Amino acid sequence: MNNIIKIIPTEQNNFNPVEGNCTYDLLNKLVKLDNDEKATLINETKNILSQCIKPEKSNGETTGIVIGYVQSGKTLSFTSLAALASDNNFKIIIFLAGNKKNLLTQTTKRLKKDLDTEGKNCKIYKVFQGPTKKGNYHVRIKNILQQKEPPTILITVLKHYSHINELSEIFKSTDLAKLMKNRGVLIIDDEADQASLNTYARKNSKTEDWEDEEFSSTYASIIKLKSSIENHSYIQYTATPQGPLLINLMDLLSPKFHVVLTPGKSYTGGKSFFIDNTDIVLAIPPIEVFHNKDNDLTECPQTLIDALQVFLIGTAIVVNIEQKESFLSMMVHADRLNIASAKFFEWVKQLLESWLSHLDLQNNDPGKIELLEQFFQSYLEVTKRITTPPDFKKTMEEVKEIMLDTNSVLVLAGSGEIDWSSARAHVLIGADMLNRGFTVENLSVSYMPRKSKGKSNADTIQQRCRFFGYKLNYLDYCRVWLPGDSILEYTEYVTDEEIMRTNLKSHTLEETAQLLILSPSMNPTRNNILSVNLVKYKLSGWRQYNSVYYIDENTKYVSEFIKKYKLNILEDYHTADRNHKNIKLPINEIIEFLNNFKVGNPPDVLRKTSTIQYLKYLEKNENLKDGYIFQMAYARTEGRERTLIEENGNIKVSNIFTGRSTSGSDVYPGDKFFKVDDCFSIQIHKIKLKHNTRKWDNQVIYTLGIYYPENFEHSFVGIQN
């Protein structure tokens, strides 16, 4: 039997952080949050910091993961964490701020702005971006720590091995290392599922010799940084935790605790777009879905024309007429290749130039009339959710004004920052620079005709959702164009994400086990960071569970269960082997039964855990009320005989189900007949084992058969240790 590795709880930290001036100063700046939202922010931030190593301890380390939604305010969370940490005597906070320079700059500027490090708080914080020994930063940090009241040093560094290794060398400097005694360091890894994890994990898991393990460069540099600081807490921030949650438990970056963030009240994420407001998500027809090899478009697709018109009309209404926002943005993301982005950029430029010239024509000009007819169709799309929209003529007057104040930008590596205040409309066209981590301010229209071959990675497609965010103020004017297959993937992912978050909110990582419910149409993350022990299962129809390692516990529990409930006798099939009982129970009692019934084989542990997660989700979100339990062959006190076999290192009963019999008067529909077609059903089987060893032969055990009807089918991935 394979062993299941469990996380051993670390010693309780007993660290109770308290708010101080730094935290209060930040809260006072958050004018868009109401008191309830501020209270939630502080409670969750204190929860994170309380599980970190005390700053005064001489040594110790821990790893935690903080899980938010895409574009939901993770940056505000770790900024608040920095302020609270400063109030509680953390003097060095490191931010691994993305693997692109624009993301590093974006994070540094945001920290400086929110914490007012260049204003009244200049004596409280010192911000160093990408420090190096050549720049004498080891001396500067040493000198700061020797001050009577040292400020908190905020270090932002690019998530690249050379930059992180440079930081490690700074902390290994002899003089600084001495000063670091009893000074805890907080390491915050933004987008922790990207670049940080070991891309050799799958290869390493195939060998038993740990000395032969290999490490990817960025992963190795993070481990080096951690080893250079005796007391540190490593906090992973991500909206897509599939990678960190599924990596090997023995990995040094595997989290030991987690916190699930609550988004603000005006947040609009996957549920808003793909469940509650499906009319604002529009399908790009296959002929217009871009692929650089399979469908390299040579003409501007009609859906891009529609999207750009919808954006201009919506901006004219929201910004100029209703004055709800000072600007809006549109994003076009067609492919990872820059050449594709350049093509779409030229189309957008040409469209804007052509439309402006046509709007300057006489009212009776056929070209202008035709263009206005096109815009009117887009106007109907924009205003379909609006009770009293402005009239079309007035709207088009403002559309022209918006076109004259539109900033079209090709966003590539090395592109400058976007000056959001410079225009009332921004159209951003780009490749992977517009991917995870990049914030498109006031994004209202997204056009993403990108096509993937084969199965998508769940974390990758979710991170492309730059259109999630705080958009309740103008949600009626938001639109997203996607290929039909992508819409289906996102819709499925939203359900999977909610199950994961619901489960994580109510369980520790140890209780959760290493599994995620996930649509079979996609992979959880890139395979190279995961162990070969990753397994994928689809639970549908009948599944047999095995429990040969918990005989006494299950015998006692099932006996007590049968005594507690009066089960109903079903149709008489004339033999003890074929006569059964059942009972209908509330779903919470079905879940309780599964919780208490023990299984030992790793595949069954994962199946059971995922089933409980899914039932709890259905109970809460789909109003699932009840299920059925069947006691099979209840009169066979010694149990029905079955053979015990070994398969893939696990001991299991060969087949617990009695088959059908159709001969003469001896008619029996088979064990699998005993279920309720549209309900979750559990069969309890009492088995007398047949085996060629004294240890197992004639042992009497209880085991389960579970029926997953079509509306209960689900798939999951997990680590089978």
Q: What is the pLDDT of residues 142-171, one digit of tens each?
A: 999 999 999 999 999 998 889 999 999 998
Q: Supply the angle between the helices 35-50 and 74-87 in degrees, to the nearest 10.
A: 60
Indicate the burial class of 182 (C-beta count within 10 angstroms; 0-12, 13-18, 19 or more). middle
Phi, psi of 322 (to 5 degrees): -85, -20
Q: Is 369 within 8 Å of 322 (Cβ atoms)?
A: no
Mean pLDDT of the 234-260 span: 71
Question: Quick one: pLDDT at residue 336?
Answer: 79
**Residue 319 and residue 307: Cα distance in Å, rounded?**
17
DSSP state of 235: E
Distance CA 55, CA 72 (A): 29
Is the model's pLDDT at 12 over the cut of 70?
A: no
Which letter, b or e, does each residue of 493-514 get, where b requires 16 or more Cβ atoms within 10 Å of its Cβ?
A: bbbbbbbbbbbbeeeebeebbb
Angle between helices 161-171 and 137-145 (to 10 degrees): 50
Over 90: is that where the pLDDT of 332 sits? yes
The tokens for 633 are 């062959």
Location of each CATH 3.40.50.300 domain in the chain:
29-260
The pLDDT assigned to 157 comes to 94
3-state SS, one letter per residue, for 319-388: HHHCCCCCCEEEEECCCCCHHHHHHHHHHHHHHHHHHHHHHCCCCCCHHHHHHHHHHHHHHHHHCCCCCC
Highest-confidence segment of 10-19, 203-212, 320-329, 529-538: 320-329
| pLDDT tens sequence across 542-571 | 988 888 878 888 999 999 999 999 899 999
* pLDDT value of position 366: 94
Pairing mode, strands 626-631 and 681-690: parallel
User: Is the model's pLDDT at 365 over the cut of 90?
Assistant: yes
Tens digit of each residue's pLDDT (9 = 90 or more) over 18-62: 999 999 999 999 998 999 999 999 999 999 999 999 988 778 889
Q: Which of 451-455, 570-574, 692-696 has the highest mean pLDDT?
A: 570-574
Instruction: Name the CA radius of gyration of the chain, rounded.
Output: 30
pLDDT tens sequence across 484-506 = 888 888 887 787 777 778 877 87
Strands 443-447 and 328-332: parallel
CB under 8 Å to 720, separation ≥6 — which residues? 2, 533, 534, 535, 602, 603, 606
**Separation of alpha carbons 276 and 188, rounded Å:** 34
pLDDT value at residue 4: 33
Q: What is the mean pLDDT of residues 167-186?
A: 83
DSSP 3-state of 61: strand
Strand-pair category, 541-544 with 568-569: unpaired
- pTM, entire model: 0.72
pLDDT top residue among 714 and 383: 383
Highest mean pLDDT among 150-154, 242-246, 692-696 belongs to 150-154
pLDDT range class, residue 609, cuts 50, 70, 90: confident
pLDDT at residue 534 above 70? Answer: no
Q: Which residues of 13-40 are buried (b: 16+ CB within 10 A; e: fewer)?
A: bebebebeebbebbbeeeeebeeebeeb
Kindly state the DSSP code that residue 680 receives in the 8-state scheme. Answer: -
Residue 193, SS3? Answer: coil
Regarding predicted confidence, which is higher, 438 or 386? 386
Tokens 């702005």 locate to 113
Which residues contact residue 380 at a Cβ distance below 8 angstroms, ignoring those fewer than 6 apart? Answer: none
C-alpha angle 71/74/77, rounded to 5°? 145
304-313, 462-471, 640-649, 700-709: which has the highest mean pLDDT?
Answer: 304-313
Residue 136 confidence (pLDDT) above 70 = yes
**Which residues does 47 contact at the CB level (< 8 Å), separation at least 6?**
259
Asked whether 259 and 64 are in contact (CB, 8 A), the reply is: yes
Residues 6+ apart with CB under 8 A from 404: 356
Q: For position 363, what pLDDT does the model report?
A: 92
Convert the pLDDT of each residue in 509-526 to its tens digit. Answer: 766 655 555 555 545 444
Pick the CATH number of 29-260 from 3.30.1300.10, 3.40.50.880, 3.40.50.300, 3.40.50.620: 3.40.50.300
Place of tokens 């919470």: 588
Q: Identify the three-state secondary structure at position 428.
A: strand
Residue holding tokens 């020797």?
146
The span from the CA of 335 to the CA of 451, in Å, is 8
According to DSSP, the β-strands at 666-668 and 661-663 are antiparallel
The model's confidence at residue 654, banded by pLDDT at 50, 70 and 90, is confident
The C-alpha atoms of residue 513 and residue 246 are separated, in whole angstroms, by 9
List the single range of 184-198, 449-463, 620-634 with lowest mean pLDDT: 449-463
Alpha-helix runs per DSSP H in 360-483: 366-382, 392-404, 458-463
Contact 628, 675 (CB under 8 A): yes
For helices 21-29 and 35-50, the axis angle rounded to 10 degrees is: 140
Listed range (21-35, 236-250, 507-521, 695-709) with the worst mean pLDDT: 507-521
Q: Is the pLDDT confidence value at 71 over 90?
A: no
Q: State the pLDDT at residue 243.
A: 57
Contact of 314 with 445, CB cutoff 8 Å: yes
* Structure token digits, residue 504: 């994580």
Distance (Å, whole) CA 273 – CA 269: 6
Judged by DSSP in three states, 627 sits in strand
Confidence class for position 462, pLDDT limits 50, 70, 90: low
Partner residues linked to 714 by β-bridges: 539
Those residues whose C-beta lies under 8 Å from the C-beta of residue 27, and which sit 6 or more positions away, are 38, 41, 42
Lowest mean pLDDT, pick from 176-185, 296-305, 701-710: 176-185
Is the confidence at residue 508, as pLDDT, over 50?
A: yes
pLDDT, position 684: 95
- Most confidently modeled of 233-247, 369-383, 594-608? 369-383
Residue 537: the pLDDT is 65
Say which amino acid occupies 272: S
Residue-averaged pLDDT of the chain: 84
The architecture in CATH of the region 267-496 reads 3-Layer(aba) Sandwich (3.40)
Q: What are phi and psi of 125, to 5 degrees?
A: -125, 150
Which residues are bridge partners to 650 per DSSP? 647
Confidence (pLDDT) at 524: 46
- In Å, what is the CA distance from 432 to each residue of 445, 462, 711? 18, 14, 38
Residue with tokens 């010799």: 209
End-to-end CA distance of the chain: 10
CA atoms of 563 and 704, how far apart (whole Å): 18
Q: What letter does residue 549 receive in the DSSP assignment?
A: T
Q: Quick one: pLDDT at residue 414? A: 66
Q: CA 674: distance to chain centroid? A: 38
